[in-house]
Amino acid sequence: MPLPKYKTYTVQDIYDLPEGTRAELIDGTMYMMAPPSRAHQEIVGEIFAVIRDYIKQKGGVCRPYVAPFAVFLNEDDHTYVEPDVSVICDPSKLNDKGCAGAPDWIIEVVSPGSQRIDYMIKLFKYRTAGVCEYWIVDKTKNRIIVYNFEKNDMNEYTFSDLVPAGIYDDLNIDFAKIDELL
């Protein structure tokens, strides 16, 4: 939920929050983040593990990261996000603070308080920032929406499906196996 907009917030305002307080910053608006549920963490962990294991097995150059991992989408200091899973294939974007620029692939697992942000605000922001692929995983709605911005394509799946990754030719994530864990 956004804070009242009395000012335009910056990344420094994020760093000034009390330790343990999580928030994201999109175009100067700060969005506080509630702690994730156990099911949310199970889903994120399994997706991350599949991607990490795939990249290691293939000897790929891309690097997967799990939240909290800082992504600075813009060159200004008004946008700071912590996607649930980020995959960065350009090592020059990585620094000690996180990722400077758009990751190639972002996956957000929807929480009750993040629906509007994940479905609308981040969708627009990720697309305009240059993210290649964006997944919205929503267990409550039994839906995985895959946006491939490079191909201007969108596909919808369920937690019974094998979902193909657009940035790789031979990576599929089996959401039926993830669903079994919940």
Report pLDDT for 74: 86
Q: Please tell me the predicted confidence (pLDDT) of residue 139.
A: 96
Q: Is the pTM of this model over 0.75?
A: yes
For residue range 110-146, list pLDDT tens digits in order.
998 899 999 999 999 999 999 999 999 999 999 999 9
Residue 43 falls within a domain, yes or no? yes
- Residue 26: inside a domain: no
Determine the structural domain holding residue 147 and report its residue range.
36-181
- Give me the pLDDT at residue 2, please: 65
pLDDT in tens, 95-117: 999 999 999 999 999 998 899 99
Burial class (CB in 10 A: 0-12, 13-18, 19+), 76: exposed
Domain contains 9:
no
**pLDDT, position 117:** 95
Q: What is the pLDDT of residues 34-67, one digit of tens each?
A: 999 999 999 999 999 999 999 999 999 999 999 9
Per the domain annotation, does 85 fall within a domain? yes
Per the domain annotation, does 23 fall within a domain? no
Burial of 28 (0-12, 13-18, 19+ CB in 10 A): middle
In a domain, 21, yes or no: no
Q: Is the pLDDT of residue 5 over 90?
A: no
Average pLDDT, the chain: 94
Phi-psi region of 101 (alpha: psi -120 to 50; beta: other; left: phi over 0): left
- Whether 4 has a pLDDT exceeding 70, the answer reads no
Judge whether 11 lies within some domain. Answer: no
CATH code, domain with 90: 3.90.1570.10
9-40 pLDDT tens trace? 999 999 999 998 999 999 999 999 999 999 99
- Domain annotation covers residue 82: yes
* 9: DSSP letter: -
Report the number of secondary-structure helices (H) and strands (E) in the chain: 5, 13
The count of domains in the chain is 1
